[in-house]
Structure 1
Amino acid sequence: MLNEKLLDVLSHPADGCISIVTSGDDGPHLVNTWNSYIEVTPEDKLLIPAAGFNKTEKNLSTHNNVLLSIASREIDGYRGKGTGFIVKGTTRFITSGEDFDRMKEKFSWIRTVLEVTVTSAKQML
């Protein structure tokens, strides 16, 4: 599901901002993280460490679909430098187990891990 260009954006050493959009009773909610924080599993799931994300977690408890905007000015896109993706997926929060323990070892400050199962990833730039 995840193509090479998206994996290049996620693994590029120049950190980029990732926007995470959820929907709640009061409308859309947006939080951000860094591409260097995201781990891609062998099953192409995205693991995102979370310390806060309280509103995000509340929204996802009733509607587990998420949108992510993932971009980099450093990776070639359709017309030169710069590319971006809109990623759709379903989610769950992980607070124990192998994936959580591995992420907690890397990011001691987390309280949970947002796991995103990607359902689509469309290149926009």
Structure 2
Amino acid sequence: MLNEKLMEILKNERQEAVTMVTMGQKEPHITNTWKSYITVEDGRFIIPVGGMKTTEENLKKDSNIQISIASPEVQGFNFMGTGVLIRGIGEIKREGNEFDFIKSKFEWANGALIISIKEVTQTL
């Protein structure tokens, strides 16, 4: 469920941080990646994993994940700059097609975070 504003942000050449949130036992856990690391395929994000051990453990217990991506160079509701909140289902794979694909692009990767996007909401 990718929308036009999300695609504008992803296509913008400026490198942006991406924040990902999973639920831990007692509190949310936040980790980051770079926008340029995201591959979009069939309504999913495929992201290289180098660490993300806590994220992986959290996803095994609760596969829900939220992602925030923003860009100051994409038009928002009222001014330049916008962001989106993405809700999805995540899992980390260490073998298979997605992993092989990520490993071919990012030699350092030891896994592939696959996020099936369920909802995208523009926030700015």
Distance across 2 between alignment mates of 1:63 and 1:98 = 23
Between the two proteins, the alignment pairs up a number of residues equal to: 124
Q: Which residues of structure 2 form unaligned runs of 5+?
A: none
Q: Which residues of structure 1 form unaligned runs of 5+?
A: none
Worse-matched range after superposition: 99-108 or 114-123: 99-108
Distance across 1 between alignment mates of 2:16 and 2:7 = 13
Distance across 2 between alignment mates of 1:11 and 1:115 = 19
CA contact (8 A) 1:9 1:75 kept: yes
Identity of aligned residues (%): 38
Distance across 2 between alignment mates of 1:67 and 1:101 = 25
Q: Which residue of 1 aligns with 2:93?
A: 94
Q: Which residue of 1 aligns with 2:70?
A: 71
1:26 positional shift? 2.4
Distance across 2 between alignment mates of 1:77 and 1:16 = 16
Q: Which residue of 1 aligns with 2:33?
A: 33
Q: Which residue of 2 aligns with 1:115?
A: 114
Worse-matched range after superposition: 3-12 or 67-76: 3-12
With normalisation by structure 1, the TM-score equals 0.95
The Cα offsets for residues 58-97 of structure 1, whole Å up to 9 and x where unpaired, read as 1111000001011111111111211100100011111122
Distance across 2 between alignment mates of 1:5 and 1:27 = 30
Q: Which residue of 2 aligns with 1:81?
A: 80
Query: Is 1:13 matched up with 2:13?
Result: yes
With normalisation by structure 2, the TM-score equals 0.96
Hey, which bits of structure 1, 4+ residues long, moved more than 4 A?
none
Worse-matched range after superposition: 113-122 or 97-106: 97-106
CA contact (8 A) 1:88 1:118 kept: yes
